[in-house]
Amino acid sequence: MPRLKSLLIPLLLCCAGFLPAAIAENLEATPTPLPVAEMAEPEFQSLVKKTNLYVQALNAVSNAQRTFDRYASWVDVKKGPTGKERYISYGLYTISTSSVADVKKAAQEGPPLKPALPELDTVIVRVAEAFGALEPVVKKASDYYEQEDYKDDDAKGAQELHRQMMPLFEKMFAGERALRAGLDTLKMQVDRRQLAQIEKLSGRNYEWHLRNFMIAAKGVINLLPEKPDAPVISAGAYKERYSELENAYNGYMTFTAEHSEEVKKVMLASFVESALKDFFTASKFLRRVLEAPKVERSEYVTRVNELAKAYNALIQRSNSLR
């Protein structure tokens, strides 16, 4: 059965939703705009390889967010552990060595590729350094809590591990945010040029419609706040992005209905379609909340987090088509 080329659109696990906020150092990485549409094909393909490496790195660092969230679920991250927390046995998740390897690979192979992206090329190295340093400390902390060593040392080890971990979490999250911010516009240009190439070579086929929906979905996700106390999303701005998503969704559904035999040949297409529908449904629920005369904050938070979760599931499933 045919398999589609990788979509490689960022997971955005560290931005899509309301997450415990680490104190971020100022690491802005907004690259100078590149004329991606006019770029010569060899240079464009090199850019595709480079951005894909950086996107894979963003996906990999979600391991750090996962373990931070676990840790922050039971400890006051500003004060550190006391050893008397009710859910101290939760500890924290380890970071996979394969994720560290992915980020290290991006830091080693990405910067030499053309075109040069000075801001992003610098940030990816910082992220790799912080992520690589964080992994063994998190492993040590995970073992410490799993073996309940805080009962033997009156939580002195817990406090020391906290002092070691937090600066690394902060540095890594700051770098991750800067890398993601710098990639957003650039990756959108790359995605649109690839979409045009697909249409030129194969017409508006299944891959074109799926990619078109993914680009529109990314546009919606980019509106989601990073912090719990951020202002509510502008209903007008959301409606504009939602309309683009709705058009892409209708186009996708019409194509799959009219070309069912073609779609059947795509491995895992039904698996991806269910996630696509879930995301569109979640986006519609959030639209209704934003269009209400008065936005109910608790429902708004719920719908934002549901949309973020649906997006992550959609990305994971779409990447299974590789």
Mapped to the 3 state alphabet, what secondary structure does 90-130 carry? HCCCCCCHHHHHHHHHHHHHCCCCCCCCHHHHHHHHHHHHH
What residues have CB less than 8 Å from 66, skipping those under 6 apart?
13, 93
The CATH class given to the 205-322 domain equals mainly alpha
Assign 268 a pLDDT band (cuts: 50, 70, 90). Answer: confident
Averaged pLDDT of the chain: 88
Q: Compare 108 and 229 and report the one with higher pLDDT.
A: 108
Q: Alpha-carbon dihedral of residues 247, 288, 316, 75, nearest 10 degrees?
A: 160
d(CA 76, CA 20): 10
Mean pLDDT of 46-68: 92
Amino acid at 264: K
The pLDDT tens digits for 98-120 are 999 999 999 999 999 999 999 99
DSSP secondary structure letters along 33-70: P--GGGS-HHHHHHHHHHHHHHHHHHHHTHHHHHHHHH
DSSP readout, 261-292? HHHHTSTTHHHHHHHHHHHHHHHHHHHHHHHS
Domain ranges of the chain: 1-14+28-203, 205-322
